[in-house]
A = this chain, B = another copy of it.
Amino acid sequence: MRPSGRTNGQIRPINITRNFTSHAEGSILVEFGETKVICTASVEVGVPRFMKGQGQGWITAEYGMLPRSTHTRNNREAARGKQGGRTMEIQRLIARSLRAAVDLKALGENTITVDCDVIQADGGTRTASITGACVALVDALTHMRSKGLIKTNPLKHLISAISVGVYKGEAIADLEYVEDSEAETDMNVVMTETGKLIEVQGTAEGEPFSFEEMAEMLELAKHAIREITDIQKAALA
């Protein structure tokens, strides 16, 4: 049924390349099939003003797409003079997800900024971003320990993300662009490596969806996250 011939729960091949660029404390190229995102984690001593004096750290994220990462060219947000609503929504999601992976107290008064820049888009850029960003974050934390910036590992658990949806009446996992653009429902799920939920964002694109469809999608997500967690662990090994 799926254009790619994948089974409903089957995810695309996922590749995680560490140290993709040289300057960042964590630098990952993450590929979910044809979707490719560069995730870098940058460490800075100190925290933003609204966090000062609380004895804990901060993690923030920014998301962007190269103008021609998509089928037709999008205007460059820097040239338009502002980030669009979709960009804002995604980078807020990435940042919240990453903060849920880390004990901010143990991070000390340090800030990690994760940049997720999509160089090629084929559906699932936000879930690929979160999955890659987590690995970049782990590398940055390792760097911080080696530099003595932190004493213990603030990571509470790996996190990763997957898109699920209802397509031609059936629940499927890891939608690529041709599926995503025709799906009746689209849902992004962020989970911990231990199988708990961090974010669930489901949207009826066409018809409303039922509680049963919701449950099926969550079930597919749970299985996908297990696989993705293993891929993250293998990359980090």
**Which A residues fall within an 8 A CB radius of B?**
21-24, 27, 34, 36, 38, 40, 42, 44, 62, 64, 66-73, 76-89, 91-92, 96, 100, 113, 115, 117, 119-121, 157, 187, 191-192, 194, 196-204, 207-211, 214, 218, 222
Could you tell me the distance in whole angstroms from the C-beta of A40 to the nearest C-beta in chain B?
4
Contact of A42 among B68, B115, B194 (CB under 8 A): B68
- 20 A-B contact pairs sorted by A residue (CB < 8 Å): A21-B69, A24-B68, A24-B73, A42-B67, A42-B68, A42-B73, A64-B78, A66-B117, A67-B115, A73-B115, A82-B82, A89-B89, A89-B92, A100-B204, A100-B208, A119-B119, A196-B207, A197-B210, A200-B214, A211-B218
**Chain B residues with Cβ under 8 A from A117's Cβ?**
66, 119
Q: Is the CB of A87 within 8 A of B78?
A: yes
Q: List, in ascending order, chain B residues with CB within 8 A of A40's CB.
A: 66-68
Q: Which of A40, A71, A81, A203 has the most CB of B within 10 A?
A: A203
| Chain B, residue nearest A41 (CB) | B68
Contact of A23 among B69, B89, B187 (CB under 8 A): B69
Assembly CA distance A23 to B96 (angstroms): 29
Residues of B within 8 A of A78 (CB): 64, 76-78, 80, 82-83, 87
Residues of B contacting A187 in the complex (Cβ-Cβ under 8 angstroms): 200
Which chain B residue shows the least CB distance to A206?
B100
Knowing that A40-B67, A42-B72, A196-B208 are A-B contacts, what are 20 other residue pairs whose CB atoms are under 8 Å apart, sorted by A's residue number?
A22-B120, A40-B66, A42-B68, A62-B67, A73-B113, A76-B78, A85-B89, A85-B91, A96-B203, A187-B200, A197-B208, A197-B214, A198-B203, A198-B208, A199-B203, A200-B200, A200-B201, A200-B214, A201-B201, A201-B202
| Alpha-carbon distance between A233 and B42 when the two chains are bound, in angstroms | 38
For residue A132, give the distance in angstroms from its CB to the closest CB of chain B.
Answer: 14
- Chain B: minimal CB distance from A229 (Å): 13
Looking at the assembled complex, report how far the CB atom of A20 sits from the nearest CB atom of chain B, in whole angstroms. Answer: 8
